[in-house]
Each structure stands twice: as C-alpha cells, then as structure tokens.
Structure 1
Amino acid sequence: MDNTIQTTLTHEQIRHYDAPKDCLKGKNILVTGAGDGIGRVAALTYARYGATVLLLGKTTSKLEYVYDEIEGFGGAQPAMLPMNLESATQTEMQQLVNLIEKEFNTLDGVLHNAGILGQLTPLEMYDVDTFDKVMKINFSACFTLTQSLLPLLKSAPHGSVVFTTSSVGTHPRAFWGAYALSKQGVEGMSDIFTQETQNTTNLRFNCINPGATRTNMRAHAYPGENPMSLKTPEDIMAGYVCLMSDDSIGVRGQVIDLQPKQI
C-alpha cells in the first residue's frame, strides 16, 4: 500500500459531489446490470467523465443500445460483456476476468448494480426457487464476481468496488423477504472485504443505497406510487461518480444513503 494521504468525505459531500471534468479519465469501470435503469445511466455517466465502461448484462440488445449511446456522444469505446448472473459459473467468471485482463490489463472499478426484487410476501409463504434466484443474482454472484476480479482490482492504483443496497437491507422489513436478506448480506460482504483489505491494498469497498428512484423495480414494488414524484437515476449520479473517483480513496466500508429521507 502506498503512502498517499487519504482524506475522508462526508456522506453529504458524496451525495452532492461536484465532479471535475474527466475525473474518471483513464479508468476502466465494470457495471453490472448496465442495460437499463440505474446501471444504464451510471454507465453513460461514467463514460461522460472519461471512463472506459465495461457493460455487463444478460440482454445483448440492451447492451448494444447503451454501447451506441456512449459512442454517439464520443465516449471512450466501451466493451459489451453479456452474462446471466443467475446461471453464471465460477469458470465463466474466470473466463471473463481473463478477457478483461487481455483487453484492458487492469480494472479500476466495479459497480454491482444488477438485481431483482423477487416476491413481496411473508417468508412463511416465500417460493423457494424464487428465493434462490434472488439470492444468487443479488448476493452470491456479487461475491463470486468480486472474488474473481480481485487480482485485477488490486493491480489498479486505487480500485473501487461499489455494491448496491437498500433501506430494507440496512433495516430489514417484513414482507421484503429474499430481497432484504440479500441486501443485508451485501452490506456485510462489503464490511468484511473492507476489514480484510484495508491494511494491505489500495482497494476500497462501499455500498450505495439509491433510495426511491424512478425505475422499473420501484414500480413493481410500489405499483400505486406516482413515478413522477421520484428522482430519476440521473438525479442521483453524483454519489456514483464520487465513489469511482480518486477523491473518494479515503472512503472505505461505508453505506452511502443517497436519499436519506426516502423509503
């Protein structure tokens, strides 16, 4: 670990980060669930700030659309990495790592954005197959992919891993079932990775809770809610950019709530 002086930003500063132009220039950032919603907007935003974005998702046509959007505004040429996290094996993830190493040499950041809601029902009645699917995509795949990517991330000057959590992960709530449990697990994973690496590498781990945001997942969870009352993914990107920038190299093991007064 180098002797760079690391200053810690407050959560408020992260939420309202005023990103310098090209603050992500030269960085290679992998975004899971990059085909739509927050993942798509994060990928576009990272590219606008100079990053080379690696687009991971299960639907190739959606990745192609984001790819074209980035090329359309002159961003660095992105890469498409089609992968279904529900069925991906550790071998497939290692093949992904080998491809990234061959094409990009190193990896500066990962945004674990992919996730599914599952059922909103009592645990007593929760479908076991759905439970397994939610835990695989939201939790187990995050672990396996992170573990596989660690050598590449450690080779970066200041690697950053950002997990996506939720208020029901920080404070589990009745009827949120596997989704709440998966997010609680993600927060614990980030904490353990932080403890195990903080004295040996320049790699940092944090969680982001985007809060109530205008996405398809939110609409499924709250079908009676007026989506126009919610912030858009574009409205909350400051925190996402901050945690990938070198201004946040002193921020470790945090759960950043981007809308602390929201559900």
Structure 2
Amino acid sequence: MLKYSSKKQFLNDKTILVTGAGDGIGKQAALTYAEYGATVILLGKTVKKLESVYDQIIAKGGNEPAIVPLDLKGATAKNYQDMANTIIDQFGCLDGLLHNASFLGHIGPFGQITEEDWHAVFQVNTHSQFLMTQALLPALKKAQNSSIIFTTSGLGLKGKAYWGPYAISKFATQGMMQVLADEYENTHIRFNCINPGPTHTALRSLAFPGENAKNLKTPEEIMDVYLYLMDSEESLDTGKTINAQ
C-alpha cells in the first residue's frame, strides 16, 4: 500500500474530471480533490446524486464544480467531443481525468454470457474510456502536467471463473493504459491504473451481497493513491498499476 503525505491545497488551479462521481469511490475522489483545491467536473448518470456532491463541495468551501450528466451506456463519440470542447472553452485545459465508473454485469459461467451483457459491460468499462480519453487528449495536452487514472481490479490482473465480461474488460483497461503510457512516455501526460481492492461501495455490495461491509475499507481510507497520482510534483509514475490496499 502506498504511503503518501499530500500538501494542503496542492491542487489549486487544477481542473479534474471524475466519472462515476455520484457515488462510492468516485464521489469520495471528487470531494477529496475539491478539498485540496481542484475544480472538479462531476460526470455521472444520476443528476440528483451529482447535485448532492456539488452541494457538499460548496458547503465545505470548495471551488464551484461543473456537472456533466451522461450515461456511459448510451454516450457517443459526439457526446465526448462536445464535452471536450466545452471543457477547453470554460477551463482552458484539463489537468486530471479519473476513469472511475464501472459496470458489473452478470456473474456466471462463460457459456451463459449473453451478447447483450457483454456489450453493456464493455461499453461502460472499455469503449467509453477509449472514446472519452481520445476526445479529451487535446485538453490534457494543454495542461502543464496532466494525469489520467484508470480503475482496474484484481480480476484484471488474474482472471477468475464466472467473472467473464467484467474481468476481461479490466484486462482491456490495463492494456489501454499501457499503450497510452508507452505512446506518451516522453511527454507531460501520465497514465496509470489504480486497483482499489475490496472497498465498501454499492458495486462491491452487488458482487458480494453476503459480505460484512464492516470488514472493508471505506473509499475515504484509500484516497492517498488517488491524490498521489494527481500530484505532478511527487509522482512521475506512468504505465504503472498501483494497489490502493
């Protein structure tokens, strides 16, 4: 587990986009980045949840966030391009991007995976990240230093029976991060993965309904690695997968 001590307000004047920002790790990351001075762009499919995070940031004296209501299951390349253009127009650049949103899909034997479920999982976990990253690269290039964080899983490091689409999508996420890190190795843009580990979130509860959540880390307890990879003075890492636990 990474040990990192962040400096107060080190994200001042930084703009960071967080997907899945309405709940779980994404919500906590958005609150944490705002606490350290960032202007956060909250992306998610449920407006009410995003508005709640917005209100919490404002109540704590953070910079006014932006809200982007977008369902990754149905989003198109044009949606991402329009978003990228708006970010450049409003903020000038993008300093950080946290790909946090994930879709679990059905857990079951490989022979019973439906085409519909396969496409739904890959649309959110892989295809949306491809389209979004590609669209946002010009905004990320305009920043002095920028960091892109993908979210992986232990299942993306070693496949496990019955986790077909989800596990395979996380292997694809690892590959996407490594390709980008290699392409941009000698630039100011960094690409890394975080494996959050077992964390008390709604997604985890769906996957392990009988699990005692009291034995799990909370999203707040794993935020050091999310801060570290956004710290351009402390982290030169690129192409790495870091375990949060």
How many residues align? The count is 245
Structure 2 residues without counterparts, runs of 5 or longer: none
Distance 2:64 2:152 in 1: 29
Q: Does 1:79 align with 2:79?
A: no
2:12 corresponds to which residue?
A: 25
1:126 corresponds to which residue?
A: 113
Percent identity (aligned): 48
Structure 1 residues without counterparts, runs of 5 or longer: 1-11
Distance 2:233 2:176 in 1: 23
Shift of 1:172: 1.1
Distance 1:92 1:224 in 2: 38
Distance 1:145 1:190 in 2: 13
1:251 corresponds to which residue?
A: 237
Find 2:213's aligned residue among 222, 227, 243. Answer: 227
Find 2:202's aligned residue among 213, 216, 224. Answer: 216
Distance 2:144 2:88 in 1: 15
Shift of 1:249: 3.9
Find 2:40's aligned residue among 22, 37, 53. Answer: 53
Q: Does 1:205 align with 2:191?
A: yes
1:173-188 → structure 2 map (5 Å cutoff): 173-188=160-175
Q: Aligned letter for 1:235?
A: E
Q: Aligned letter for 1:83?
A: L
Q: Aligned letter for 1:116?
A: F
Q: Aligned letter for 1:145?
A: M
**If the length of structure 2 is used for normalisation, what is the TM-score?**
0.98
Distance 2:3 2:118 in 1: 36
Q: Deviation per CA, 1:231-256: give whole Å up to 9, x if none.
A: 00000000001101113441000000
Q: Aligned letter for 1:179?
A: Y
Q: Does 1:103 align with 2:70?
A: no
Distance 1:249 1:147 in 2: 23
Distance 1:17 1:249 in 2: 10
Find 2:30's aligned residue among 43, 46, 67. Answer: 43
Find 1:163's aligned residue among 124, 146, 150. Answer: 150
What is the Cα-based RMSD across aligned positions, in Å? 0.8
